[in-house]
Amino acid sequence: MINKEDDDDDDETEKMMNRSIVRVGDSATSMDESGSASSPLRPVTVDGADADAALAKSRFLTREEVLRRRLRRVKQLGRCYRAHYWALMEEMRSKYRDYSWTYGKSPFKEGHNETDIDNQNGGGVPALGGADDIVRCRFSGCKTKAMALTTYCHSHILSDSKQRLYHGCRAVAKNLPTGPSFCNKPVLKTMVPPACPTHHQFGERCLARALRRAGLGNAIPSNRKPTVKLHVLVSEFVHQIQNKRKLALKETAPKVETE
């Protein structure tokens, strides 16, 4: 026998179930406000509520009764969480569809506009004006569509002083007499290392070449996912650094003249 006063897990499960049901209702309501189709809200009751009401005044419950009630409520809670998840997924699809419709690039629309301009002007210079509601990049000479929440395209997003998501690629593009010239292409700050796709692939090729020279030619397969251990990479880099230091010491060391 189990004391009913010590059985607090069932109450916590019921509270979690109620909160989950409320979240599902809120998600469905927000979907209606965004314009997507959703089924009307229906009142949700706890499974086996009649049996629970009959045992509500009991002071002691058997172990089997407690386990059955907990299993029933956990299963219903899992269904509520799954319904909540799919409601959020449907809301995300709706918002993504609206975002793509507002900021997406339509090749049919652009090709249709170019054809109309050529037909109107006889294939000459495009006419000025027109009902173009697309926000273009503010960078001088750039006609690319601007990114969302900014007035610059992806190539010139670093010109926006208010953005905090991108920084320039730190790979050295050229070695000039005045100093190294960096690539400075926009890269997300979460990228590690902070390199553009071109220089990232170049770094992978350099790493594969160094591993082949060290006798680890099979360390990086064709899919570019290294299978070599971390301590092997660290030892190889340390070995290369030591070789560079030895060469630098040999160049700076004074030469002994022999008679």
pLDDT tens-place string over residues 30-68: 444 444 445 556 667 777 777 777 777 777 888 888 888
Q: Can you give the residue ranges of every domain in the chain? A: 2-103
Is the sign of the CA dihedral 237, 243, 245, 248 positive or negative?
negative
pLDDT confidence of residue 12:
62
pLDDT digit string (tens) for 194-237? Answer: 889 999 888 888 877 877 887 766 656 555 555 556 777 788 78
Nearest alpha-carbon partner for 116 in 131, 101, 135, 103: 131
Q: List, for residues 170-182, the tens digit of each pLDDT value.
A: 888 888 888 888 9
**How high is the pLDDT of residue 116?**
53
CA 18 to chain CA centroid, nearest Å: 31
Residue 207 near residue 193 (C-beta atoms within 8 A): no
Cα–Cα distance, 182 to 176 (Å, whole number): 10
Q: What are phi and psi of 179, to 5 degrees?
A: 140, 175
Q: What is the CA radius of gyration of the chain?
A: 33
Query: Torsions phi, psi of 190, nearest 5?
Result: -80, -10
